[in-house]
Amino acid sequence: MKRVVITGLGAITPLGNTVAELWDNIRAGRSGAGPITKFDASKFKTRFACEVKGFDPESYIDKKELKKYDPFTQYALAASEQAVADAGLDFASMDESERYDIGVIWGTGNGGISTFEQQLKEFDTGDGTPRFNPYFIPKMIVDIAAGVISMRYQLHGPNYCTVSACASSNTAIISAFDTIRMGKATMMIAGGSEAAITPASVGGFGAAQALSKQNDSPQTASKPFDRDRDGFVMGEGAGALVLEELDHALARGATIYAEMAGGGMAGDAYHLTGTHPEGLGAVLGIQRALRDAGITAEAIDYVNAHATSTGIGDLSELVGIKRVFGDRPVPISATKSMTGHLLGAAGAVESIISILSVKHDLIPATINVTTLDERIPEGMNLILGKAVSQKVNYALNNTFGFGGHTASSIFKKYL
């Protein structure tokens, strides 16, 4: 099968609205959390999140067009534009036939949820006559970001959306990888976006006891692996990758960040929202990714854990990692301690972080850990407090989602 490389990256995140800003803050171990500004959260049990800050959609989208796009699509367009520019691509100068072999696969868990909430508030005019915005449906539906990205660049290759909750964008990247190496495309834009810091999302996840309530200390609330963690911190944003067939990338002189080596997906088949206590889905996803990459667990130099800062989820993942890696102390960190949990966009942003870890030989830290949970399996090499400079030839990125979805991707140095 064909080899696939990463030639472009783009990011809109709570830690910065470019890849460079994101990486600088990850290396420095900074938190993106703060009080919620998207709506009045004063009556909510959780009143903080990792919001995107200072994002100007008009830098990427014509003002007249903005009314057509929910924020999750705005973030998608912005991150994709960055990735396309980073890859040195000028689609307008390409022959149409070349664009037939370039596609888009985009992931999201919630799609246009803010549009949905707002429309339901406004549809009743008071006289019993319902009124709906003509852009309501195309702003809301989860597939629209993939469609809009393809329209912007006139890309006629495979085009669809993956929805697997918090594994959505990692699933999108694995799907794009498979599409290229099977010869069904020469290049794909893949990733995911989420804009779910809304009353319904915060209220719903809060009612499910999934969110941290440490309102007095937002920046230290996301603390995977810590004994006193009490839930995840919601985030938002987007991550975009340009994946490209190796020979195509070489022929046009593209800069290559890393090679994608493999991907594995599985189903926990256990619980609506909880992960299997023995990490079954994680084990299967990781093992399939390793087999797909043609390597053993000994080759992995860094694991970017899904670890969201929930008791059951963090522990079950570590149990699964222990089952795969045995006594080998593979370095593990949870970058959600800094970014928060970007839900359907998490896999894409964490793939970017994993790719940059490979490129720069740096393992990010898990911040905010004061007292390790005593239930963590013995021998785990958790990178805490400060990033570590260390050779990273292979990085593994885990993502899991409600419904039992698991996805693991592997990136390696391009040699």
User: Which residues are marked as active site?
Assistant: 166
Cα(246)–Cα(81) distance, integer angstroms? 21
Instruction: Give the single-character DSSP code of 35.
Output: E
Write out the two tokens for 227.
């004994």
DSSP-derived 3-state class of residue 132: coil
Sequence-ordered list of residues with C-beta below 8 angstroms from that of 302, at least 6 positions apart, any chain:
330, 331, 332, 333, 354, 357, 358, 363, 390, 392, 394, 395, 396
Q: Which residue has the tokens 């990136």?
A: 411
Q: How many CA atoms lie within 13 A of 324 on its CB side?
A: 28
Checking phi first, is residue 136 left (phi over 0); if not, alpha (psi -120 to 50) or beta? alpha
Angle between the N-to-C axes of helices 168-181 and 346-360, in degrees from 0 to 180, rounded to the nearest 10: 60
Cα(331)–Cα(318) distance, integer angstroms? 12
- Compute the residue count for the chain: 415
Residue 368: what residue type? N
CB 408 within 8 A of CB 171: no
Q: Which residue has the tokens 């359907």?
A: 344
Angle, alpha carbons 118-399-37 (nearest 5°): 35
Q: What is the DSSP string of 320-380?
A: HHHHHHTT---EEE-THHHH-B-GGGHHHHHHHHHHHHHHHTEEPPBPS-SSB-TTSPTT-
CB 226 within 8 A of CB 310: no
Cα(413)–Cα(398) distance, integer angstroms? 18
